Amino acid sequence: MPAELRDKAKSADAAALGRQVDELMTGAGSPMDNAMRVMRTEINRAHGEAYMMGGEDKPWFGGWRFLLSPSHPKPDICDLLSEQNLYGLGNGVYPDRERLPWPAHPNTLAVRGRKVDAGDDSGAAEGCPVAGTGGGATGNPENSL
C-alpha cells in the first residue's frame, strides 16, 4: 500500500466517517429519504382516490377543487393548478377525476375538495362536507384531508 494511503487510513476519524455514512444513508436524497417520499406520495394518492370515488355520484357534486395546503412551501405547478379556470367552473375547479391533475408531483401538499354545484346549496342540509354559503361553495381543505 502506498505510504500516502496508509497515512490517510491511519488518521481516519471513525466517528466522522460514521457520520458521513449515516448522512449518505438517511439524509436528503438518500435511499431512505427517497423511499419515504414515495411512501408519503402513495399513501396520499390512495387516500385521495378513495375520497374521490365517493364524491362524483352525489347530486350536489359540482367538480373537484385543487387546493393548496396551508403548509405549501414555495410556488410550483400546484399554484397554477389551483388558480387556472380551464372549464368555467371557477379557479382550480375540474369537472371530474379524469381531468383533475392530482397529485401534481411527488410529496405534494395539495389537497382536493368537492365543489357544491352553484345551483344547489341544499348539500349543506344533506350533509355535504364542503357546502358553504350561497352560489357555488368552495372546498374546505380540512374536510379534504
Query: Which pLDDT tens digit goes with each residue over 79-117?
Result: 999 999 999 999 999 999 999 998 888 888 788 887 766
> What's the pLDDT score for residue 30?
80
**Between 131 and 116, the higher pLDDT residue:** 116
Instruction: Please give the C-alpha separations between residue 46 and each of 22, 103, 116, in angstroms, as whole numbers.
Output: 31, 11, 23
> What's the pLDDT score for residue 133?
30
User: 2-27: per-residue pLDDT in tens?
Assistant: 777 666 666 667 777 677 767 666 66
- The rounded distance, in Å, linking the Cα atoms of 141 and 112 is 7
